[in-house]
Amino acid sequence: MSRPLISIVIANWNGRELLKPCLESVFAQNHTGAEPAQSRFEVIIIDNGSTDGSVAFIEKTHPELRLIKNPLNLGFAKANNQGILASRGEFILTLNNDTVLDKDFLAALMSAVADSRPRVGMWAAKILSLNEKAIIDSVGGLLLYPDGLARGRGRLERDRGQYDALNEILLPSACAALYRREMLDEVGLFDEDFFAYCEDTDLGLRARLLGWGARSVPGAVCFHSYSATGGDYSVFKAYHVERNRAYVLIKNFPLSLVLCSPYHTLRRYAKQLSSIRSGKGASSRVADRAGRAGLFFIFIKVYFAVIINLPALLKKRRLIQRRRKVAESEFVEWLLTDGIDAEELTRKD
């Protein structure tokens, strides 16, 4: 019996220098059976209007790959959806262009798939820092804050194997996540209105609300250059993360938690303001780049976008909540077992 086909989907925007080590690690995967590993996966790259020679590099070095060329940057969500729709695999691996895979990455993932029950539809890799390989980016998927924001479990901690015993988790980071096609057929793809950031949180929660499970695979190790494409501490990222976490909240959270969320958001803002005053953390670095007037403008722009898009968000919410198969109490339990508090969230921002 042949192994299932994995479709590896990589969205790229001006990442020529990142693609070389990424693709080299993909094609250096260990043989995992009678057939070589590379005979059981396909690679689809979606280029979002790069101007750095990415397309020419791919066409020259990997002409065998499926390359989708967009005339401009359509966003991470749209690009990944294009790749998924063009793919043939039973399983979809979303991979950031700034990742490098351990040689046993795919073998570990597929071993975990074989050991999972049919309603498990998501698997999270162990993601470590590319620059400091002993430092965690995310292990055991994402942790959820009560206002819709999420962060990688263990982020910035030194990896001592402290999260390797995790099995069931809330949801994976799409930086390096495996999805079952059957699940995507039922749940839907990434919400393209997000453009970039938090779309994996949204997809994961929609899947969990329909009864799909997620597993951690600590043996599937990859290394990630955090925000190498979008820009660490960039104004662009700050805006999209803050706007999109509100989208996640409105679409997926139980009404009681939506009504309580302003308290948690204000509490987070207070911690972030303290971070800015102390000159520490990501909030401080964003403030350094944007200035206080710029931060205020981001805040206004975020809430203006949420208000303008509220009718569409509520329409999506009605559909999601009508279809959900889990009780509100189970959602609350997720926040207890896979939640993160404001202080830790700000410290690891």
* Whether the predicted pLDDT of 231 surpasses 60: no
Instruction: Give the pLDDT band (50/70/90) at residue 318.
Output: very high
User: Is 230 a member of any domain?
Assistant: no
| Per-residue confidence (pLDDT) for residue 289, from 0 to 100 | 82
User: What is the average pLDDT score of the chain?
Assistant: 93
Instruction: Give dist(CA 262, CA 284) in Å, integer.
Output: 22
CATH number reported for the structural domain that contains residue 212 in this entry = 3.90.550.10
- Strand 213-224 and strand 120-129: the pairing is parallel
Domain co-membership, 206 together with 283: no
Domain co-membership, 186 together with 154: yes
* Whether the predicted pLDDT of 38 surpasses 50: no
Domain boundary among 224, 243, 272: 224
Domain co-membership, 15 together with 137: yes
Domain co-membership, 249 together with 300: yes
Range of the domain at 249: 235-347
Residue with tokens 């940057």: 73
248-259: pLDDT as tens digits: 999 999 999 999
Domain co-membership, 120 together with 261: no
Mean pLDDT, residues 321-345: 95
- pTM for the model stands at 0.94
Residue that wins the pLDDT comparison between 293 and 298: 298
| Per-residue confidence (pLDDT) for residue 33, from 0 to 100 | 47
- Strand 91-96 and strand 150-152: the pairing is unpaired
* Whether the predicted pLDDT of 34 surpasses 50: no
* Whether the predicted pLDDT of 27 surpasses 80: yes
Percent of the chain with pLDDT over 70: 94
| Per-residue confidence (pLDDT) for residue 36, from 0 to 100 | 44
The string of DSSP letters for 202-213 reads HHHHHHHHTT-E
Residue that wins the pLDDT comparison between 43 and 291: 43
**Number of domains observed in the structure of the chain:** 2
Mean pLDDT, residues 148-161: 96
| Per-residue confidence (pLDDT) for residue 295, from 0 to 100 | 87
Instruction: Give the pLDDT band (50/70/90) at residue 348.
Output: low
- Measured CA distances, 262 to 246, 268, 295, 296 (Å): 10, 10, 19, 18
Mean pLDDT, residues 262-288: 86
